[in-house]
């Protein structure tokens, strides 16, 4: 029996050639070959961030990137507006609190994204510019929701607060133009749309953010972006880098470049569209609100009478399909279906077929064999509009 089909919202299915790159012998991380590797990775990531500036590669998961963003720009007592849409937005806000910020949250219902008008109104009320930074989650993986970052950008720029963006589960899957839109610190990670193994975070900062990074008094050491930037200028990282993950990331980014960024964006959008259509056809209700659907993770509540834990266990144990459940208050309430990684339509169709079987076995009322897969096929072929 082949291995399980991993359709988590991260970590994702990694191509065999990328996995094999991890088995290469170690190299001198203070030598020329490492400098070339780091430079190649940075050059490949810049277009995804939409920046011509530095992209810092940090050993650690996405959360290290979020902590680096906060620790390097936010001082104790700073007022921070957190635009939290779920678990990962809460995490970002919590990190800011740990670093002594006074954090206020913009109220956002679960399943919704940031309403530009609500953000505009809150920032307009801050006439004396006491809000020093705004935290945003580009794509909230816990609810399957994505923000319109192009629409939010001018509102944020008009206020002038520093903008910190968690794009861990969006960058690479959807367009982002850090320099043109004027975002200040943007964080992503290896194990999502770039389809590499976990273990590396990426942080890019605007020149305005670098000024803040240079002068903020917050203590930091391993995540100090000043040290990372100056080491990078010499083709190094300040500390021993996770070489196998970087070898794999390098290989994954070469595959990504060969596909082309626009094709990768279209692929994620098409896959998510197909999965949304299938789930709706099978009696699920999409958790994300219309206009807020994510291209990288589809979150949905199962049909009445179907328990999430039983459904996930059946899919995993009988069909080798690994989906994810909800987190925190959404635990037991939603299923999350990732669309990132080295997967094709046939993988999604297989998983949807398995879902039809599992639903039938668990006693879902009106599951028509082929109903989900047909809806996905129509959506993949772009024959029908999908809400």
Pick between residue 82 and residue 375 the one whose CB is nearest to ligand PLP. 82
Pick between residue 73 and residue 169 the one whose CB is nearest to ligand PLP. 169
Nearest to 43 by CA among 235, 296, 242, 222: 235
User: Whole-number minimum distance, CB 192 to ligand PLP, in Å?
Assistant: 7
Q: Which residue is nearest to ligand PLP (CB)?
A: 62
User: Whole-number minimum distance, CB 301 to ligand PLP, in Å?
Assistant: 20
**Beta carbons of 103 and 76 less than 8 angstroms apart:** no
Distances (CA, A) of 199 to 7, 60, 64, 299, 312: 19, 5, 10, 25, 26
Report 30-69 residues binding ligand PLP (CB under 6 A): 61-63
User: Whole-number minimum distance, CB 138 to ligand PLP, in Å?
Assistant: 8
**327 touching ligand PLP, by CB under 6 A:** no
Nearest to 188 by CA among 138, 260, 263: 138
Backbone angles phi, psi at 76, to 5 degrees: -60, 135
**Beta carbons of 111 and 78 less than 8 angstroms apart:** no
Report 128-167 residues binding ligand PLP (CB under 6 A): 137, 139, 141, 166
Q: How far apart are CA 305 and CA 71, in angstroms?
A: 46
**102 touching ligand PLP, by CB under 6 A:** no
User: Whole-number minimum distance, CB 184 to ligand PLP, in Å?
Assistant: 17
Q: Which residues make Cβ contacts (< 8 Å) with residue 258, sequence separation at least 6?
A: none
- Which helix (H) or strand (E) segment holds residue 146: the answer is strand 145-146
**88 touching ligand PLP, by CB under 6 A:** yes
Pick between residue 63 and residue 289 the one whose CB is nearest to ligand PLP. 63
Binder among 168, 298, 312, 359 for ligand PLP (CB under 6 A): 168
Binder among 101, 106, 189, 279 for ligand PLP (CB under 6 A): 189
Report 219-238 residues binding ligand PLP (CB under 6 A): none
Distances (CA, A) of 385 to 34, 147, 194, 364: 47, 21, 28, 26
Pick between residue 38 and residue 69 the one whose CB is nearest to ligand PLP. 69
Binder among 73, 169, 280, 294 for ligand PLP (CB under 6 A): 169
Per the structure block, which two tokens stand in for 231?
């080491």
- Count the site residues for ligand PLP by CB under 6 A: 13
Report 10-29 residues binding ligand PLP (CB under 6 A): 10
Per the structure block, which two tokens stand in for 252?
């994954």
Q: Name the β-bridge partners of 131.
A: 79
Q: Which residues bind ligand PLP (CB under 6 A)?
A: 10, 61-63, 88, 137, 139, 141, 166, 168-169, 189, 198
């Amino acid at each position: 029996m082949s291995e399980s089909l991993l359709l988590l919202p991260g970590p994702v299915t990694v191509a065999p050639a990328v996995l094999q790159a991890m088995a290469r012998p170690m190299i001198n991380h203070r030598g020329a070959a490492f400098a070339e590797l780091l430079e190649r990775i940075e050059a490949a990531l810049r277009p995804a961030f939409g920046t011509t500036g530095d992209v810092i590669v940090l050993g650690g998961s996405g959360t290290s990137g979020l902590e680096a963003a906060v620790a390097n720009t936010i001082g104790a007592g700073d007022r921070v507006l957190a635009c939290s849409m779920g678990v990962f937005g809460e995490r970002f806000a919590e990190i800011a609190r740990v670093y002594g910020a006074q954090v206020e949250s913009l109220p956002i219902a679960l399943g919704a994204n940031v309403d530009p008008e609500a953000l505009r109104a809150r920032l307009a009320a801050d006439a004396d510019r006491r809000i020093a930074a705004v935290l945003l989650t580009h794509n909230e993986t816990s609810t399957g929701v994505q923000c319109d970052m192009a629409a939010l950008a001018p509102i944020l720029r008009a206020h002038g607060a520093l903008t910190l963006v968690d794009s861990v589960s969006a960058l690479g899957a959807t367009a982002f133009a850090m320099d043109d839109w004027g975002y200040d610190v943007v964080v992503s990670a290896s194990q999502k749309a770039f389809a590499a193994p976990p273990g590396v975070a990426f942080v890019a900062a605007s020149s305005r953010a670098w000024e803040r990074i240079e002068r903020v008094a917050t203590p930091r050491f391993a995540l100090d972006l000043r040290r990372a930037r100056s080491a990078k200028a010499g083709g190094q990282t300040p500390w021993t880098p996770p070489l196998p993950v970087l070898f794999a990331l390098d290989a994954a980014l070469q595959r990504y470049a060969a596909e082309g960024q626009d094709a990768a964006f279209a692929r994620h959008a098409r896959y998510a569209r197909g999965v949304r259509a299938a789930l709706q056809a099978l009696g699920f209700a999409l958790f994300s609100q219309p206009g807020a659907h994510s291209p990288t993770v589809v979150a949905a509540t199962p049909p009445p009478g179907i328990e999430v834990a039983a459904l996930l266990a059946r899919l995993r144990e009988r069909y080798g399909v690994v989906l994810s459940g909800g987190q925190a208050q959404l635990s037991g309430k939603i299923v999350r279906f990732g669309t990132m990684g080295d997967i094709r339509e046939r993988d999604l169709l297989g998983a949807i077929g398995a879902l039809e079987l599992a639903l039938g076995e668990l006693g879902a009322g009106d599951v028509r064999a082929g109903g989900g897969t047909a809806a996905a096929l129509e959506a993949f072929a772009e024959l029908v509009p999908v809400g």
